[in-house]
Amino acid sequence: MKPIRSVITLAAGLLIGTAALAQSIVVASTTSTEQSGLFGAILPQFKQATGIDVKVVALGTGQAIDMARRGDADVLFVHDKVAEEKFVAEGFSAKRQEVMYNDFVLVGPKADPAKTAGKDIVGALKKVAAANAPFISRGDKSGTHAAELRFWKMAEADANKGGGYKECGCGMGPALNIASGSNAYALTDRGTWLNFKNRGDLKVLVEGDQRLFNQYGVMLVSAAKHPQVKTAEGQKFVDWVTGPAGQAAIAAYKIGGEQLFFPNATK
C-alpha cells in the first residue's frame, strides 16, 4: 500500500504544482515602473494576497501598448493617457482606470549652462535649444518621450531642438546613464531618478510645473479581441492595484524617505 500511497501523493503534488503554475499573468508596463523599483516592492504583496505570479515586461509605453494590442499581455499598466484612451476606444480594453501619479523633472549639469533652473519646463527647453546644449531624449515612443515631445512643441522648438539634441532609442535608465556620462540635460520621471545611482554631475533643475504631472493607468486586455487573455487573474490584479491594499502598497514605497508614486485610483 505504501508505494501506491506514494504515487497518489506524488500525482496530487504534481496537480497542485500545475495549478499553481497556471496562476500567472503578464503585465505590459513601462521601464519607469520597473526601474524605479515599484514592482519589486508591491508584487510580492499581490502574490501573497492572491497566489498569482506576475511577469512584468517593461518597455516604452508605445511598445507596451503594441504588445497588449497583439494579445501578448493580460494587463496594460502605462502612462500616456491619450494613447491609453485610444487603446480603449479601439476595443482592446473595456475601460481605463487611473492608478497613481508622480511627475516629470528636467535634470542637467549642476552648472546649468543653459540657465534652465526653475518651474517652467517650456521656457527651459527653449533655452536648451537656443544654447545648442546637449540633451538626451529616450526617442523610444514611451510615455516619457511622448511628454517630452509635447513640451518641445509647446516651446515651438519641435522642429529645431538645438545641435546638442540626441535620441538614444532606449529606456529611462540607459538614457540617464548617457546623460550622466555626457553631462547632458534629460527629461525623466521622478521615480526612476530617485532610484538612479549613477547621477554624476546631474541634478534636478526644473520641477513643480503643473504640466509635468505624470498619470498612470491600468487596463485589462479584452478577451473579446484575444480569447487567450487570463481575464479572471488579470482582473484580480487590476482590482488589487486600484483597491485599498494595492494603493497602500504604492504609497508605502519610498527611497530615502521620499515617496515615489502617489495613489489616486477612483472606482
Q: What was the pLDDT predicted at 158?
A: 87
Distance from C-alpha of 137 to C-alpha of 148, rounded to nearest angstrom: 8
- Within 13 Å, how many C-alpha atoms sit on residue 182's CB side? 18
Considering the entire predicted model, what is its pTM?
A: 0.84
Q: What was the pLDDT predicted at 207?
A: 98
Task: Name the residue range of residue 237's domain.
Answer: 2-101+216-263
For the CA atoms of 220, 142, 83, 160, what is the dihedral angle to 10 degrees?
180
Q: What was the pLDDT predicted at 22?
A: 53
b vs e for 19-33, b when ≥16 Cβ sit within 10 Å of the residue's Cβ? eeeeeebbbbbbbbb
One domain, residues 49 and 150: no
One domain, residues 112 and 197: yes
One domain, residues 185 and 225: no
One domain, residues 131 and 97: no
For the CA atoms of 86, 89, 90, 91, what is the dihedral angle to 10 degrees?
130
Give whole-number Cα distances, 86 to 83, 125, 221, 224, in Å. 5, 28, 13, 17
**What phi-psi label fits residue 156: left (phi over 0), alpha (psi between -120 and 50 degrees) or beta?**
left
Q: What was the pLDDT predicted at 134?
A: 98
One domain, residues 86 and 41: yes
Give whole-number Cα distances, 165 to 113, 139, 140, 204, in Å. 15, 11, 14, 19
Among 212, 229, 244, give the residue marking a domain's end: 212
Task: Yes or no: say if 249 and 85 are a contact pair by the CB < 8 Å rule.
Answer: no
Among 196, 212, 228, give the residue marking a domain's end: 212
One domain, residues 138 and 184: yes
10-residue mean pLDDT profile of the chain (267 residues): values are: 47 46 87 90 97 96 96 97 96 97 97 98 98 97 94 94 96 95 96 93 97 97 97 98 98 94 89
Cell 553631462 belongs to which residue? Answer: 183
C-alpha cell at 108: 542637467
Which residues face 213 on adjacent strands?
A: 103
What are the backbone angles phi and psi of residue 75, rounded to the nearest 5°? -135, 145
Task: Yes or no: say if 78 and 216 are a contact pair by the CB < 8 Å rule.
Answer: yes
**Residue 203 burial class via C-beta count within 10 angstroms: exposed 0-12, middle 13-18, buried 19 and up:** middle
Q: What interhelical angle do 231-242 and 38-50 show, nearest 10?
A: 120
Among 170, 190, 212, give the residue marking a domain's end: 212
Distance from C-alpha of 28 to C-alpha of 248, rounded to nearest angstrom: 22
Q: What was the pLDDT predicted at 266?
A: 80
Is residue 61 helix, strand or coil?
helix
Distance from C-alpha of 100 to C-alpha of 263, rounded to nearest angstrom: 4
The residue among 204, 212, 215, 221 whose CA lies nearest residue 88 is: 221
Can you give the CATH number for the domain in which 45 is found? 3.40.190.10
The residue among 36, 144, 9, 152 whose CA lies nearest residue 83 is: 144
